[in-house]
Amino acid sequence: MRVAFASLFAPGHGETPARTRTLRTARGLADRGHDVIWLCARWWGGDHDAFEEDGIEYRAVTAEPAPAAFAARLPVAVRRAGADVVHAVNSPPTPGLAATVAGSLSRVPVVVDWWRDHPADARRWYRPLARRADAVATPSRTTKTRVREHGADGEDVRVLPESIDFDAVESAGVDDRFDAVYARRLDRHANVETFLLGLAELRGRDWTAAVIGDGPERGRIEATARDLRIADRVEFLGDLPIDERLPILKGTHVAVATATWETFATDLLWAVACGCVALVEYQADSSAHELVEGRERGRLVTSPAELADEFVAVSDLERRAVDREFASFDHDAVIDRYVGLYEDLVDGE
């Protein structure tokens, strides 16, 4: 299959979660022998308009990342790509909308991978984009709901989650120093305070905890731990690479997710795949609850007091180092779902 990715920005313009998701999908397809072309604004030096890297052919549609100019030139670029399917992104929306026009002109189906509604986007373009796409892929049911609110038919929206390397989970060692762990970038959405307040409720019990991650709020969060008089029992480990993170997750009994905003809780996914019992504080702008709903080894809470109660309640659950239920989130398994979506569209199903 020949797949044309239509995205104004590529990771070469700077990495974001959305661009990382798109790149991972493109590389996964290329690794399987599919022809992959990425139509984007130029981010490389030199005077050449195209080059290949890791099985992906990057083609410059414009020299600068200007959405209007990119949208105007995209239909011709799509036609020249000769693709079986176009994989566009929702942000910025005008290039995505141009991709749907290009698909109509070239009679090629268009999938829009919708990571989130970006605050810098002109939201008036979201509705026509959601309605014109042949299919929309979202990382979570929470995002799917937002896309349906923009006018997409629910049957045309598929949840294709973020993915992990499950082989790496199974092969990692075990570091059992901690009883509880919080893992995420420590930004203004992190809300680590709920985690720390829940732990503080249990000062009389024997526990140790780790916070994995770094960010602008780290200093303030560490100060909160000191103010709560639990700093001697909470270790701040920084932003660990995945090969150092996995043994800790596999040896820890409980993982906590309390962030107020999360398009997809990838850090929590790694933790539950490593056998952690998940305690998730429900937040309207977070999809983390989707990883625990209906699962015995997961609980939803709404306050630090409930979190403390659940710490105690789940203590009797067995410790695990791997949970094979989450093998369905492996990189290859999710790429299978993308390919299945493309094939359904090409076959007219």
For residue 326, name the pLDDT band (cuts at 50, 70, 90).
very high
Give the global pTM: 0.95
| Edge-to-edge strand list for the sheet holding 277-281 | 234-238, 209-212, 180-183, 254-257, 277-281, 298-301
Mean of the pLDDT values across residues 212-219? 98
Amino acid found at 227: D
Mean pLDDT of the chain: 96
The one-letter code for the residue type at 14 is G
Whole-number pLDDT of residue 349: 61
- Collapsing DSSP to helix, strand or coil, 138 comes out as strand
Residue 191: pLDDT over 90: yes
CA angle 20, 24, 25 (to 5 degrees): 120
- The dihedral formed by the CA atoms of 54, 5, 347 and 159, expressed in degrees to the nearest 10: 100
**Cβ contacts of 262 within 8 Å, gap of 6 or more:** 184, 189, 283, 285, 286, 287, 288
The token duo for 99 is 């991709």
Task: Please give the Cα distance from 158 to 337 (Å, whole number).
Answer: 10
**How does DSSP assign 197-233, residue by residue?**
HHHHTTTTS---EEEE--STTHHHHHHHHHHTT-GGG
Instruction: Give me the mean pLDDT over the 284-310 stretch.
Output: 95
Average pLDDT over residues 73-99: 97
Q: Which domains does the chain have, with CATH numbers?
A: 2-163+330-346 (3.40.50.2000), 166-327 (3.40.50.2000)
